Amino acid sequence: MSTTDLAAGLQTLGLRTDADLCARLLAYRDELARWNRVHNLSGVRDPERMVAVHLLDSLALAPLVRGSRLADVGSGGGLPGLPLALLEPEREVVLIEPRAKRALFLDHVVRTLDIGNVKVERSRAEDLPAGAGFDTVTARAFGTLGELVAAAVHLLRPGGCILAAKGRDPQAEVAALPAGWSAEVLPLVVPGIDARRHAVRLAREAGGE
């Protein structure tokens, strides 16, 4: 997928399409593809396919992100956190990843692309102290919604939300959420992806613990 194709995908999502953003997104894609050959960061091997499956799929969440501080839990190869950070350089983004090789890759990308609004935490989300005060916590392929809530609830500021990327309609996971949480399931249309995609926005209900 060329820069023109990426820009067309960004336009379809209603996002900015300037040349600098496209160049930085593709530079990140190139590093992910290069490291993936050795470190198995992604099951997607084709760099062209990574544009839709990783970049545009991550950025489809952008209109749903709230606030100026974002934590990406179980960030892996930096998805969705790094594309979201490149899109919004004024937003503070923390990538939380406990696995050493993946955290090393994230540090490398942040240095190589000089991404000044990103910090990498080599840790499990559960092990980080409470009170971090994030407006939005994102996750992709983390586990069930219940597991995500248990791992990340202490990272949220009052009124913050958890935003989970899911494939098929996750109603069974929604039904299994602990009491005190509301879930909004939002279908996503991602350019270049035929499979069904959803975002689930989780928030504490009034009076929820």
Look up the CATH number of the domain holding residue 82: 3.40.50.150
Q: Note down the domain range covering 108.
A: 60-204
Q: Decide if 118 is inside a domain.
A: yes
Q: Decide if 49 is inside a domain.
A: no
Q: Which pLDDT score, from 0 to 100, does residue 25 have?
A: 98
Q: Decide if 98 is inside a domain.
A: yes
CA atoms within 13 A on the CB side of 175: 4
Residue 41: band (very low, low, confident or very high) from pLDDT cuts 50, 70, 90: confident
Q: Is the pLDDT of residue 28 over 80?
A: yes
Q: Decide if 36 is inside a domain.
A: no
Q: What is the pLDDT of residues 146-180, one digit of tens each?
A: 999 999 999 999 999 999 999 888 999 999 999 99
Q: Decide if 22 is inside a domain.
A: no
Q: Decide if 4 is inside a domain.
A: no
Chain centre to alpha carbon of residue 181: 21
Q: Which residues contact 4 (CB under 8 A, 6 or more apart)?
A: none
Taking CB atoms within 8 Å and a gap of at least 24, the contacts of 123-132 are 123/96, 123/98, 124/96, 124/98, 124/151, 125/71, 125/73, 125/74, 125/96, 125/151, 125/152, 125/155, 126/150, 126/151, 128/96, 128/154, 128/155, 129/154, 130/154, 130/155, 132/71, 132/94
Average pLDDT for 134-145: 95
Q: Which pLDDT score, from 0 to 100, does residue 43 have?
A: 86
Q: Which pLDDT score, from 0 to 100, does residue 208 have?
A: 54
Q: Which residues contact 68 (CB under 8 A, 6 or more apart)?
A: 90, 91, 92, 135
One-letter amino acid for residue 65 of the chain: V
Q: Which pLDDT score, from 0 to 100, does residue 39 have?
A: 86
Average pLDDT for 77-105: 97
Give the Cα separation of 75 and 32 in Å (integer): 13
Average pLDDT for 48-53: 93
Task: Identify the residue whose tokens are 């069974």.
Answer: 172
Total of domains in the chain: 1
Q: Decide if 189 is inside a domain.
A: yes
CA distances from 195 to 32, 140, 162, 198, 202 (A): 22, 16, 23, 10, 23
Q: Is the pLDDT of residue 29 over 80?
A: yes
Residue 141: band (very low, low, confident or very high) from pLDDT cuts 50, 70, 90: confident
CB 141 within 8 Å of CB 74: yes
Q: Decide if 48 is inside a domain.
A: no
